[in-house]
Amino acid sequence: MKKTDAARATGLAAAVAVLALIALVSVAVGARSIPLSTVVTALVGESTPDVHFVVWDLRVPRTLIGLAVGAALGTAGALMQALTRNPLADPGLLGVNAGAAAAAALSVSVLGITDLRAFVWFAFAGAALAGVVLYALATGGRSGASPVRLALAGTAITAALTGVTQSAMLLDSKTLDQMRFWTVGSLNRADGATIARVAPFLAAGLVLALALARPLNAIALGDDAGRALGANIGRTRVLTLVAITLLAGAATAAVGPLVFVGLAVPHIVRALTGPDQRWMLPYCMVLSPALLLAADILGRVVAKQELDVGVVTALLGAPVFIYLVRRTRMVRS
């Protein structure tokens, strides 16, 4: 193994250790703080009934869904950036999450569906449709899918679909009651059933993403160079969109639309590993859930009452996005 690869492997191991620590803190912190030693004791099965209830019934599911959703959105963001060659691409910014949310809202208001198992399918359909519309709008004209066209098309799609979601909620009180907390993006209503229902889709998306690392490296050099290196450009793009849809659709169905989670981490990872997707994707799978859980912990500590993680990620992500726009010189029309 090359020296650089050894350093990357060491860094990845350190990131996993940091994630494990943050996960323990996520289980310990809340309305009732529990010492880390007590948390560890409860996790191995020895605790009082009240501590066991708080740890296993309330906080472990919340932490597990944060791990899964964080890994999914971070990986989807990295895939989106690699696919579009746009460093500002993110499922939340390009309308994919908004498509999933709008489809879920319409499934409640029009069809009366409230089961999460049905939410997943409608979220998938909405995410996929938003991706198709984005691609059609961004690639129209002679300039093709430039970063500015993608950002503008994504902003328009997100605004339109957000309007659809809000209209469905305002016109139907049942939809409002069902979705007013979900649309903010929150981990505190997760349970074991939620995790079990979305886990197969998230796992499939993550495995597919890892399998696409090499062809994505090839097409990053350009379509002609990618073909010369043996990559099937069309198949790689389709499978990447499938992976993004699986990850963003299932994550949004589970906790609601979360923005900026998949935007910042790929930039941090790229500075650590370089553009090699074989390393970027595993790093994103580790550091993105660390960021999401840290934001969730911050919301519990700063606010007197628990602040939904979607609010925290939006407040933290907006200035990060502005910084990245100013820093990214390549984004031109």
As a CATH number, domain 3-327 is: 1.10.3470.10
- Calculate mean pLDDT across residues 223-248: 85
Q: Where are the domains of the chain?
A: 3-327
**Burial class for 6, CB neighbours closer than 10 Å (0-12, 13-18, 19+):** exposed
Please give the torsion angle defined by the CA atoms of residues 22, 26, 32 and 34, in that order, rounded to the nearest 10 degrees: -50
Reported confidence tier of residue 330, pLDDT bands at 50, 70, 90? very low
Kindly state the percentage of the chain with pLDDT values over 90. Answer: 29
pLDDT at residue 322 tops 80: no
pLDDT at residue 315 tops 90: no
Which pTM does this prediction carry? 0.87
pLDDT at residue 329 tops 60: no
Contacts of 238 (CB under 8 A, 6+ apart): none
pLDDT at residue 78 tops 70: yes
